[in-house]
Structure 1
């Protein structure tokens, strides 16, 4: 524990809608348990958490709209509308009393008109340590959250695949220039939740010269545990779980899971879905729980499942895998992003080659047949993601500043 009691201010767009906001809220709890004062400022507050809402609701909405309208004339098509954020609209939060009083300012996901590139720059020029936990690549690209195979972020962006008229001096290059200049302060310290994202940040021309440390998100391993209430499911069946904020979001890869399900025994195996209704016909009988906001009910679903599957096309360090592991449920995912760092292949679960439905099905079968993967998943969650462990890693990094 840090000898000095710190005043830490966390910043994120939303406190409960999305993995980054949830992760920041959990970090708040973890740091408070270590005896520090932590305030959590958000643009949008959607839960009963102790987060504090910054700004007027109407003005916040208008800035979100302004950001989207600004990008509208540049976007290639509507399919990429939320895959690229310019970062030109936001609010100057640097004069907020809590920011002025803070020992540590700690950013998380701050897009959608919360903080612009220039607003982040204002924070780094306050002559106090600023930490930024990256949940995707936006901080070191010209605007995209995940670049895929594109490596323009290693040079100067431009010729962006997300834009209508890509060229060397397009919007992505101009925003790269703004970040290259604006994020140059040495008191900006970078945290990534996975080594995968950390390595990408080190390769970038924007953040490559900064101190970058990998610290995973925290989870309450006493709350997320195998000891959950029954859902009344058939004890003679095996259950495969899929979770997403939006089941039909292309990047979540449900279409690949659907292909994989064809290889499973429909007589003994059923599907649990969290995140919305599926109108299409599926190879297995499905139990659809819709959107769930109650963490206790979500915990019970994780614990009831025999295997959790995340067929995402791109990921950093998914909270869902951490939650499933803590509930003693084996996990399966593709070899993308930070997923291979979380799942020990054929120990706590199975890592399939990227976007191979047949091998994904093989992994699901392996987990369903394993007698130890669930127990070992729980042990790994306790070792890596426990609140105390993660809080102390953050405090040690704060102390270096």
Structure 2
């Protein structure tokens, strides 16, 4: 199977690692490992493109390239289309007769109410209705999509990670904890992009909550992986709240993050407006229980009471108590960490989950070929 791979928001090889880029790369890797050919196409961002006419010529060139590519591919596969970055190229290819699949589509009717987002809403709605198959990795999104497409065009696939790349590393744990001079104190681990938005807001909550727990007599350390414009400010906040007890290790290669997770004792991050939160799956696969908020995507990948705790959003007391309960009960922490890994292996292995999607796509292509012969 030859796939034209379209990414409307960020190119497949975007240098800034994020959840979006990670999922797109995992999808491309999955198809390649299964023996399929992935051809990057439509790598121009359509982010609010209706407001950015200087991008239109580049988009037109990409559209022409995709039309010329059409006879040499079996289908067009798009990762993530929504109101802000609608998939214009995949919809065009569908009009030209190409089987069209969208992974992680999003549809929200509230975007039609504002003049600035209305063009994106209409373009996205049109594009999604052209698709032969919409593959959602978020349960709530399935309900939204049923407003515009029939159920037979929808497939739910639980989010997944490459579980073979994330496991506990005892040697890395010993080395990093020695370098951080943690002693026997439990370590709160956080991995996030440190940008001035909800990511920084979430880390502020972690730092201030950790500072409060420390002042109340709960020993702990904080380790943060990630980089970005907010780093200096967050480091200063951590120095004030947790003097001598916080370490920022900077950006790490994704497949070395298991070393970082292994050095921690629990993973703590609110996940404010987090689409899915792949870091929760990575941390759990390395044996860390998680504490997150019931905000958007985190509850879909953290099972309350099984792999950690999910607390009410912006409830400072509940958040602090969940963290404290795991810091002060090592046996429970270890038991939940073991359960967390088992949960991810059973439910969020990317190869197993994406295999269901692959089967549906191959069935779709076979049906198309049958139609062409009849």
Moved more, 245-254 or 100-109: 245-254
C-alpha contact 1:272 1:289 (8 A) present in aligned 2: yes
Structure-2 separation of matches of 1:362 and 1:353:
12
In structure 2, relative to structure 1, the CA distance for the partners of 1:224 and 1:40 (3 Å cut) is farther
Q: Does 1:212 align with 2:154?
A: yes
In structure 2, relative to structure 1, the CA distance for the partners of 1:69 and 1:380 (3 Å cut) is same
Rg larger in 1 or in 2? Answer: 2
**Per-residue CA shift, 1:222-269, capped at 9, x if unaligned?**
221112623134340111122221253235522322342244236620
- The match for 1:201 is 145
**Per-residue CA shift, 1:64-90, capped at 9, x if unaligned?**
79766569xxxxxxxxxxxxxx99983
In structure 2, relative to structure 1, the CA distance for the partners of 1:269 and 1:198 (3 Å cut) is same
Instruction: Tell me how far 1:379 sits from its aligned partner.
Output: 1.1
Q: Does 1:317 align with 2:276?
A: yes
Instruction: Tell me how far 1:302 sits from its aligned partner.
Output: 1.3
Structure 1 unmatched ranges of 5 or more: 1-5, 44-59, 72-85, 142-150, 161-169
Q: Does 1:108 align with 2:79?
A: yes
- The match for 2:219 is 268
Structure-1 separation of matches of 2:258 and 2:134:
31
- The match for 2:135 is 191
**Per-residue CA shift, 1:334-390, capped at 9, x if unaligned?**
112232121111111000012212211222223332231111111111112223202
Q: Does 1:172 align with 2:117?
A: yes
- The match for 2:35 is 35
C-alpha contact 2:48 2:120 (8 A) present in aligned 1: no
In structure 2, relative to structure 1, the CA distance for the partners of 1:201 and 1:363 (3 Å cut) is farther
Instruction: Tell me how far 1:398 sits from its aligned partner.
Output: 1.0
C-alpha contact 1:188 1:210 (8 A) present in aligned 2: no
C-alpha contact 1:34 1:388 (8 A) present in aligned 2: no
In structure 2, relative to structure 1, the CA distance for the partners of 1:303 and 1:112 (3 Å cut) is farther
Q: Does 1:380 align with 2:343?
A: yes
Structure 2 unmatched ranges of 5 or more: 365-374
Structure-2 separation of matches of 1:94 and 1:296:
37
- The match for 1:244 is 192
Structural RMSD (CA): 3.3
Structure 2 residue corresponding to 1:125, chosen from 95, 98, 109? 95
In structure 2, relative to structure 1, the CA distance for the partners of 1:39 and 1:377 (3 Å cut) is farther
In structure 2, relative to structure 1, the CA distance for the partners of 1:89 and 1:249 (3 Å cut) is farther
- The match for 1:328 is 287
Q: Does 1:152 align with 2:110?
A: yes
Residues 4-23 of structure 1 mapped to structure 2, 5 A cutoff? 6-12=1-7, 13-14=10-11, 15-16=13-14, 17=16, 18-23=18-23
Structure-1 separation of matches of 2:195 and 2:317:
20
SS in 2 for 1:347: coil
- Output the TM-score relative to the length of structure 1: 0.73
